[in-house]
Structure formats: C-alpha cells, structure tokens
Chains A and B, each alone.
Chain A
Amino acid sequence: MPERSPSFHVSSLPRFHRGWRLFIFYSSALMLTGLVSMLFADLLWRTGWSTSRTVLLVLFVILFLFAAIGCMHGIYGFALRLFGTHQRITQLKNYRDQKIDGISTAIVFPIYNENVRRVYEGLRATYESLEKTGQLERFDFFILSDSTDPDKWVEEERRWFDLIRELDALGRIYYRRRLDNEGRKSGNIRDFLNAWGRRYRYFMVCDADSVMRGETLVDLVKLMEVHPTVGLIQTVPALVNAESLFGRIQQFANRLYAPLFIAGLNYWALDFGNYWGHNAIIRTEPFMQCCDLPQLPGRKPFGGQILSHDFVEAALMLRENWEVWFAYDLEGSYEETPQAMIENAQRERRWCQGNLQHGLVIFAKGLRGVSRLHLILGICGYLAGPLWLAFLLAFNWIRWFQNYTGLSDITVHAFTPYLNLSGTAHAFLIFAICMVVIMLPKILVLIDLANDWPRRRVFGGLARASLSVGGETIFSTLHAPLLMLWHTRFVVTNLLGISVGWATQKRAADGTTWTFALQRHWGHTLIGLVWGAFMWWLDETLFWWFTPMLAGMVLSIPLSVFTSRRSLGIRARKLGFFLTPEETMPPPEITSLRAHLKIQEIVGDTAPRPPHAGVAEAVLDPYVNAIHVSLLREKQLNPVYAEQFSRLGAGTENVRVLGEKLLAEGPDKLSASERLLVMADQSTMVWLHQQSWQRPGESLASWWRAAILEYSRRD
C-alpha cells in the first residue's frame, strides 16, 4: 500500500517561486483592471457622479476583473507555449522508464441512468486500447451503477455480460449497482472504495462519456509512481464525437483554446491544481483518508450534501500536503459535450448549484489559499451572469434617469486630461479595451496555431481555423446573453431554495424540436423584444450598441433549433469549419468507439425499447434472470449491502405480495420504487421467473402474456 501523507512537503518547485507566480499572475489582472476601471470611473465622473454610477462602477470592476483573469490565462499560456516550460508534471522527472509491475489500478465508471450502450462502448474502447499496451493485467474496470430506472438496471447487467463475453474480460470488468443513491456520485465512489479501495494503489475516475487511451492510462500510473507526493493528476479531456452544430462549435473551442488556457492555469496552480471529477488518477489511500465529504451545516442550497465534490476533494488532498497536478500535455483523454443549447443549460444548472455551495466551503479552516481561489473562480463563473445583467440594468437605469430628469449630457473635462478625449471617444476607448481583453486570447490562439504546422493541419489549416474562430465568436456573442439569463435564473432560484424541474428534452432525429425550443426560450425572446423596444424608445443610438445582446435573446428559438441540428454540423464539417484533431485524424480508440456504435445502429440495437422491457427480461429471460439473481446474491456477501437489503425490506412477505401484484396486474400497477424493491429481492426474482412460465395465461396480466408471446417469436 502507498505510504501515508509525508510529514513534510516535497514540492517540485520551491514555495517561494509559486508564490511569486501567483502574485505576478493575479497582479497583472488586477493592474489591468485597476487602470481600465480608473478610465471608466473617470468617464462616469465626467457626466456627474451619482449612487447608481457607484453601483455601475463596482459591477464594472468585478466583471472586468473576471475578463482580465481570463485574458491573463491566455497571455501566460501563449508565452509558456512559445518559450516552453519545464514546470509540468510530465517534465519534472523521467517517468517513461518507470516499471509498474505489481501496481494495481482500478478504472471506475460511475453511472446513473445513462445511455448504457454508449457507456459500455466507451469502456470497450478504453479496454481494447489498454490491452494493446500489454499492461492490461495491472488494471481492473468497475461499472459503478447508481441507476434508479429498473429497465436501465437490467440493461446494464445484460450488456455488461455481453461485454465481458465479447472481450473475454470475466474477472477484469466488474459491475456493481448500489441499492441506494446516498451521496450521489461521491457516495458511489466512496461505496466502491469501502468495498474494494484497499485492493488498488490508484483509481481512475471516468465519466459516463469518457474514453481514455491505454498509453495515457499507463503514463498516469507511471507519473504517480515517480512522484510519491502526488495525490491526484487531472488530465484535460478533449471533447469528441459532437455532430450537431452547437456541439461541434463547443468541441472546436475546447480543442483550440484549452491548451493555452490550461497552460496559463498551470502557470500559477502548479502542484496546487484542481480536480474536475473525471479523467483523473487518484492515489487511493490518501483519498480514502481525507476525502470522505462531510455534510455541510444548514439547509439547502448551501447546507447538506456537497454536490460538486471534485473541487472540494482536491482542496482536501492539498490540505493534507498531497500535490494535485494538471497533466495538460497528455493526449488521449476524451469526453463528450451536450449537443444542444438547452441540454447544455441543463448541465449548467446542476453545476451552478454545486458551485454556489462552495460559497460555504471557502470558509473552511485549513484549506490552502489556492484551493479557495479555485473555489472562488468556480463560483464566479456562475455569478458573472447575474452581475452582468445587473450591470446592464444599472446602465439602463442611469440612461433612463437622465432622460426622465432631463439632465444634460454635457461632459466636463476628464480626470485624465492628457488623453484629450471627447466623452464619446473616451467611452469608445473603454469599449475597445474591453473587446481587446475578450478577443486577445483568441488572436493569441491563432498565432500559436500559425507557429505549429502539425497542429495547424489537424485544425484544417490556418485560414479555415481563423474563419471557424470568427464563426465561434459570432455564436458565443449570441449565446452569451442567453447564458446570462439562464445563470441569473439558476443563481436566484438556487439561493431561494427553489427546485426547478426540467423535463427531459424532446429531441427530433435532427435535434431540438421547435415546440421544445419555444417552451424553453419564449421568456428570452420576450425579454429581448421588450428590452429592445425600451432601448429604442430611450435612445436609438444606444439601441444599436445593444443589438448583439438583444439579437441573441430575440433569435434564441431559431438559434437553439438550428445549432442543435446534426445536418448543419455535418455540413459545416464538410466545408472544413470547426474541425478538430479528432475529426481530421481520429485516434484508434475514437475510431473503434464510433465503429461499434455504428454497427449497433445498423443491426438495430439502438431501437427504442418498450416500457418495462427490462422488467420483462429480468423475469422472463432465463439467462438475464440468472445473471440478475446471481449478482444480487453476490452482493449479499458484503455486510453493508446485506444490511441495506434488509433495510429495503428484501426477503419479506411484503415483497412477495408485490411480486404477486406484478404478475397479476402487470408492471404498470407498481410504482418505480416498488418495481425496484421487487427486483432487489433475489428469492422473489427466482419465484417470479418460475411463476411467469408455469402459471396458466389467465392468471397472468395481459402484459405478461404479450411478453411471453414476444419471446416465442424471437429469433
């Protein structure tokens, strides 16, 4: 087993240097913010100071600081890529020759009602890639299911068996479903660690849509071995497999911009990095010792279970003197992205809640300053939306107040007379600086690309990449006001403790339907129209300055529908726009994933299944029933699970009564939780299998008779 946390900290870089890096980096952002804020304050002063202008200035300073920090990540990242740096986990020591014999690593896939087919194909691609390295025997794979949908549960078991048979991976790929969802994803991981954690020196967390290259997995283990003080290494997953226009734009932005930004992030974070919840390797022992998350005091939204566990887990590792690094130059780590704006917003909503909760965690005693910084930056990502909205509203208020009171627009001399600017020119200068701060990283990315011929080629050439950057900028300009409105809503509803349920997206074959887009965006469109009319009434010139923002809102419905279209994404690809390296030169693991998914599509394995198909399989199919029952039986060997079984009521007469009801009246007559309870009871499942085949048809619900008939017709 790995050694306990060292009593002294062995840093790859003296603290003094890291402190300086942090100081220099954030000082740059603060200096830029300070200077531009002075200019802005001066502009406000020229038309007469007021309380509302104070509010506007404060909001400007905060928002500009966010933008400046983003810009600095781009600038520092660009410089580091241009001049090179050795302060990377992959450059500190030679790890390539490190032997990993006898080192055991678990690769875990926590899943929750996911697309089973996609998860398992991702796992297959990772497994096969690892097999090619010749190091497969050092790794075990775990599918850690938290699924609450009985049909998904059965499908997971059935496909797991198919997978292990096809890969001959019995005893290499394991499946475990929890009986309750306590602690959600972090609870799922904790449950795995409590059952098997001590068997593995490291564990690697993958998301449901993750794919990892075998060599990358081996490299990560080697890196952990040569750096005994490192507790966690986070890779930077590349977005892949997007087909819709929205997905491809996000994917392109991720692949083109991320290397610069993460290099900038690594400049100041170094061994005080962060954890993003997946595609990362973790040293098991320290994680088990210090990362079982406590409940936060108070009520929701801040109190209770920590939802966004990853940042907090990294902070807790750092608190115990373990290092956390970004391995941003390791290729072969992939994930997927939502294919439509609405799906993306749904994900943002979940993350928003978790990040806001970090507002409490930042006060936890003993955390490192850098950890607090990571947490604050995460929170700011969501607070920026409401702050931007407040800024716009404050600006509108000032303008309206000016009109309403009939106060003059005449400007006085600036505090900065040396600039010799008119009021309009002064305002334009600030606007231009803001644009430069926002756009500079994108320009630097293109310069970086121009310097790198192989990379330029996989992005479709400099000209196409530049045009794609232009397209992405136009899209993000239209998308940003929608994110602003969404984030504002998420923040406000979360703070008020209101849970906003979102129906599952109704997708047409080619993306979001018009009806669904109308349901989700009518508010945005209305706000855009009303706001636009107000601006026009207030000041026609001003209206034109606001058109990019208003256009995003007014056009939100068609924007949402068209960008979700797969056909448009494919057309853009054919024209050479938004190309990424994984599209132009697909790596073997991604090719394998796509090929398997395509085969399944061709053989009809992707057809939607009728309701309760899983229940029918688990009861009627002799093999699926046998797999299901034997998995339940094996679980009984763990005293924790055995206790959970008895807490659930498995094995009681009540379950048998529910089983009888299931047979006599059909699965529709049982609630989802009742169906789950029946399916968690091994003796009832054996009994159901026997009864369903032995009883005369009249004593079975018509649903069962139809299901049995279906079996007799199957080929």
Chain B
Amino acid sequence: MESAVNPAILPDTSGLLAGRPLEEWNAAYAKVESYFHALRVRNKALLGQLVLRVLERAQRRAPAAPHRTATQLAAEEMDHIVTEWFADVLQVPPTNPDQMLSTRGRLALLLADMPGKWQEQFLRPGPWPKEFVSAMRETFLRAGPDFQLSKMAPRPLDLGPITTLTNLGRLPYFKMVFAWTLFALLLVVFFIFTHH
C-alpha cells in the first residue's frame, strides 16, 4: 500500500529535515510566508503551496550548503523562483537578466493587480491568460510625461543705490558701529523727550 505522506518531506529518524532541525525550517517557512504575505497573496491554500514549493527547493540545496541556515536558503530560493518567473512572464532573456528585473516584476504585479485579479497566476508556469500577460507586460508606471527641458534664467533686479546699502553689512565692524550709533541716537531721543 502506498504511504500517505512522501517520506522525502518528513524528518529523518534523528528528527532532522534535509539535515536541519525542524525549528530552522519553521523559521524559514515563516520568512517565506511573510514575503508572500507582503506580496498580498491572501489565499491561504495558495500561500501554503507556494511556501512549500520554495522550501522544497531549499531542502534540495541544503545538503550542498551546510553553512547556510534554512532561512537563508529559503529566502534565496524564494528570490530565484520569483525572479525567474518574472523573467518568463516579462520575456526577459535569462542570459542577460535585468538587474532591476525584480523591481520591474513587482511593479508589473501591482499594475496588473495580481492581488485582486490574478492571484492564481502568481508563480504558475505558462501559458498564462492573454489579459494577464498583457497587463503585466504593457502597463508602465509613469510619474511624469516626457520631459520637455528648458532653462529659466533669472533676470537681475536693478535696485540702484539700494544695492550699495545692502553691501554695507559686509563692511568690517559694521554691526558694532551700527549698534553704537543706535545707542547714541537713543540717548539723543531720550534727551529731547525729557527736555522740552
């Protein structure tokens, strides 16, 4: 009789899964789940499946990378899976991946409204519905129309003799002399007011 659960995805007799304690995979699960959650994959069944798919790949890599934690492996695999899928959907040649591919892909997901309309297509291999592909490939976020560059140039205001006055402040000790003059003037005003 066939086993109910694939033994490859179960811990071995020492309680390790792919050579790592279960706790590590639990943390890895949480991290991957958080990221997909951040991508607004709200359907719990789908979310669980996607996380398991990532963990499966991470577990396959685990024996070859003994110094890396399960979380690191899972996070890297998650990044690879998502970026590869973006390359497929957006038709970016895998030999020359755009450094910004992940950014472009996430933006395309948002513009196509993946969380609202196309959750079931996320990370699914092609072919995809035409409408989805076109929404992903043809929508661009534009923060502004095409630049039509010009250069405004200030015209100086001719303030006449006032310009000279404004430069008085640059003279050395001007403030001190000004304060003394003001003080002297105050004395004169006080004298006039009190002697009439």
* Chain B residues, Cβ within 8 Å of A366: 158
* Chain B residues, Cβ within 8 Å of A634: 142-144
Q: Mark A570-600, 1 if CB is under 8 A from B, else 0.
A: 0000000000000000000000000000000
A690 interface hit (Cβ, 8 Å)? yes
Q: Which of B2-10, B100-108, B130-138 contacts A (4 or more CB under 8 A)?
A: B100-108
Q: Which of B38, B148, B157, B167 has the most CB of A within 10 A?
A: B157
Which residue of A175, A397, A623 is within 8 Å of B193 (Cβ)?
A397
Q: Mark A116-160, 1 if CB is under 8 A from B, else 0.
A: 000000000000000000000000101000000000000000000
Known: A690-B79, A711-B34. Contact between A170 and B142, CB under 8 A?
yes
Minimum CB distance partner of A397 in chain B: B193
Q: Is the CB of B143 within 8 A of A626?
A: no
Nearest CB on B from A165, distance (A):
8
Q: Mark A625-639, 1 if CB is under 8 A from B, else 0.
A: 111011101110111
CA distance A504 to B104 in the complex (A): 40
Q: Is the CB of A194 within 8 A of B149?
A: yes
Q: Is the CB of B72 within 8 A of A712?
A: no
Which residue of B71, B72, B152 is within 8 Å of A292 (Cβ)?
B152
Which residue of A50, A633, A693 is within 8 Å of B100 (Cβ)?
A633
Q: Mark A703-715, 1 if CB is under 8 A from B, else 0.
A: 0000011011010
* Chain B residues, Cβ within 8 Å of A621: 38
Minimum CB distance partner of B195 in chain A: A51
Known: A298-B167, A622-B38. Contact between A627 and B160, CB under 8 A?
no
A196 interface hit (Cβ, 8 Å)? yes
Q: Is the CB of B145 within 8 A of A199?
A: yes
Q: Is the CB of B72 within 8 A of A696?
A: yes
Minimum CB distance partner of A315 in chain B: B157
Known: A170-B142, A686-B99. Contact between A294 and B155, CB under 8 A?
yes
A640 interface hit (Cβ, 8 Å)? yes
A365 interface hit (Cβ, 8 Å)? yes
Q: For the complex, would chain B's binding face be called helix, strand, loop or mixed by DSSP majority?
A: helix
B14 interface hit (Cβ, 8 Å)? no
* Chain A residues, Cβ within 8 Å of B99: 683, 686
* Chain A residues, Cβ within 8 Å of B34: 708-709, 711-712
A360 interface hit (Cβ, 8 Å)? yes
Q: Is the CB of B159 within 8 A of A176?
A: no
Q: Is the CB of B100 within 8 A of A294?
A: no
* Chain B residues, Cβ within 8 Å of A176: 143-144
Q: Is the CB of B107 within 8 A of A627?
A: yes
Q: Is the CB of B152 within 8 A of A194?
A: yes
* Chain A residues, Cβ within 8 Å of B144: 142, 174-176, 195-196, 634
* Chain B residues, Cβ within 8 Å of A714: 37-38
Known: A629-B100, A696-B71, A708-B34. Contact between A640 and B150, CB under 8 A?
no
Would you list which residues of chain A between 171 and 229 have a CB under 8 Å from chain B?
Answer: 171, 174-176, 190, 193-199
Known: A174-B143, A627-B141. Contact between A697 and B71, CB under 8 A?
yes
* Chain B residues, Cβ within 8 Å of A463: none
Minimum CB distance partner of A306 in chain B: B157
Known: A174-B142, A299-B169. Contact between A620 and B38, CB under 8 A?
yes
Nearest CB on B from A509, distance (A):
33
* Chain A residues, Cβ within 8 Å of B165: 298
A52 interface hit (Cβ, 8 Å)? yes
Which residue of B33, B75, B147 is within 8 Å of A712 (Cβ)?
B33
Minimum CB distance partner of A361 in chain B: B157
Q: Is the CB of B100 within 8 A of A195?
A: no
Known: A297-B166, A693-B31, A711-B34. Contact between A638 and B159, CB under 8 A?
no
Q: Is the CB of B158 within 8 A of A365?
A: yes
Chain B interface residue count, CB cutoff 8 Å, equals 57
* Chain B residues, Cβ within 8 Å of A364: 157-159
B109 interface hit (Cβ, 8 Å)? yes
CA distance A366 to B158 in the complex (A): 8
Known: A363-B160, A690-B102. Contact between A294 and B38, CB under 8 A?
no
The count of A-to-B residue pairs whose CB atoms sit within 8 angstroms is: 176
Q: Is the CB of A199 within 8 A of B148?
A: yes
Q: Is the CB of A639 within 8 A of B149?
A: yes
A664 interface hit (Cβ, 8 Å)? no
Which residue of A290, A365, A638 is within 8 Å of B149 (Cβ)?
A638
Q: Which of A290, A294, A640, A694 has the most CB of B within 10 A?
A: A694
B176 interface hit (Cβ, 8 Å)? no
* Chain A residues, Cβ within 8 Å of B194: 401
Q: Is the CB of A140 within 8 A of B156?
A: no
* Chain B residues, Cβ within 8 Å of A626: 103-104, 106-107, 110
Would you list which residues of chain A between 621 and 661 have a CB under 8 Å from chain B?
Answer: 621-623, 625-627, 629-631, 633-635, 637-640
A296 interface hit (Cβ, 8 Å)? yes
Minimum CB distance partner of A687 in chain B: B99
Q: Is the CB of B151 within 8 A of A194?
A: yes
Q: Which of A196, A293, A302 has the most CB of B within 10 A?
A: A196
Would you list which residues of chain A between 601 and 631 have a CB under 8 Å from chain B?
Answer: 620-623, 625-627, 629-631
Minimum CB distance partner of B71 in chain A: A696
B163 interface hit (Cβ, 8 Å)? yes
B192 interface hit (Cβ, 8 Å)? yes
B153 interface hit (Cβ, 8 Å)? yes
CA distance A695 to B100 in the complex (A): 20
CA distance A634 to B71 in the complex (A): 34
CA distance A669 to B149 in the complex (A): 39
Q: Is the CB of A623 within 8 A of B106?
A: yes
Minimum CB distance partner of B164 in chain A: A297
A288 interface hit (Cβ, 8 Å)? yes
Q: Is the CB of B30 within 8 A of A712?
A: yes
> Can you name 12 A-B pairs with beta carbons within 8 Å?
A171-B145, A193-B152, A195-B144, A198-B148, A293-B154, A360-B159, A365-B159, A401-B193, A623-B107, A626-B103, A630-B107, A638-B147
Other contacts beyond A360-B162, A683-B99, A708-B34: 17, CB < 8 A? A52-B196, A176-B144, A294-B155, A297-B159, A298-B170, A397-B193, A622-B39, A623-B40, A626-B104, A631-B143, A638-B147, A640-B149, A686-B103, A693-B79, A694-B76, A695-B72, A697-B27
Residues of A whose CB lies within 8 Å of any CB of B are 50-52, 140, 142, 161, 170-171, 174-176, 190, 193-199, 288-299, 302-303, 360-361, 363-366, 397, 401, 620-623, 625-627, 629-631, 633-635, 637-640, 682-683, 686, 689-690, 693-697, 708-709, 711-712, 714
Residues of B whose CB lies within 8 Å of any CB of A are 27, 30-31, 33-35, 37-40, 69, 71-72, 75-76, 78-79, 99-100, 102-104, 106-107, 109-110, 139, 141-145, 147-160, 162-163, 165-167, 169-170, 192-194, 196
3 interchain residue pairs of minimum CB distance? A298-B166, A712-B34, A626-B106
